Amino acid sequence: MADVHSKKVRSYNMSRIKGKDTKPEILVRKFLHSKGFRFRLHAKNLPGKPDIVLPKYKTVIFVHGCFWHGHKGCKYFVVPKTRTEWWLNKINTNIANDKKKEKALKLSGWKVVHVWECGLKADKRYKILGSLILKLAC
Ligand SMILES: [Zn+2]
């Protein structure tokens, strides 16, 4: 049975998850850098190796792909019609892991901020990144 579409989607999504330096993440990094924030990347000594770590603000930032991390109510989170169960299982595991990591980080006194990929689309970016700065400031 040909399953061309889902194969295509799958390999696209795989390529997204494998690459650490995904576009949305780079966008956030560049923005923070331009505002004078200094950070570390993929800190291995922290739970879940957060994408961006701002030690000065005791804050970690996860840049989440809406599909892989099951962004609730987001138009980019669409479960493929083929192998639906497999996908849901995979995504639910990711969500559970995210929650675990977040809890562990908070317990060690870190502030956890999520930036969703959809918030970085050109029309929303300015607002979302602006509120990110506010979160860091308080
Ligand atoms: Zn989203």
pLDDT per residue over 95-129, tens digit each?
A: 999 999 999 999 999 999 999 999 999 999 999 99
Is residue 4 a part of any domain in this protein?
no
Is residue 57 a part of any domain in this protein?
yes
Write the CATH number for 33.
3.40.960.10
Exposed/middle/buried for residue 72 (C-beta within 10 Å: 0-12, 13-18, 19+): exposed
Query: What's the rounded mean pLDDT across residues 59-88?
Result: 95
- Decide: pTM greater than 0.85: no
The answer on pLDDT for 77 being more than 70 is: yes
The H or E element that residue 107 is part of is helix 84-107
Is residue 33 a part of any domain in this protein?
yes
How many A from CA of 111 to the centre of ligand 1? 21
How many A from CA of 69 to the centre of ligand 1? 9
**What is the chain's mean pLDDT, rounded?**
88
What six digits make up the tokens of 83? 């192998």
How many A from CA of 1 to the centre of ligand 1? 32
How many A from CA of 55 to the centre of ligand 1? 27
Number of domains in the chain: 1
Query: What's the rounded mean pLDDT across residues 47-67?
Result: 94
Strands (E), the chain: 40-41, 52-54, 59-64, 111-116
Instruction: Name the residue range of residue 100's domain.
Output: 21-137
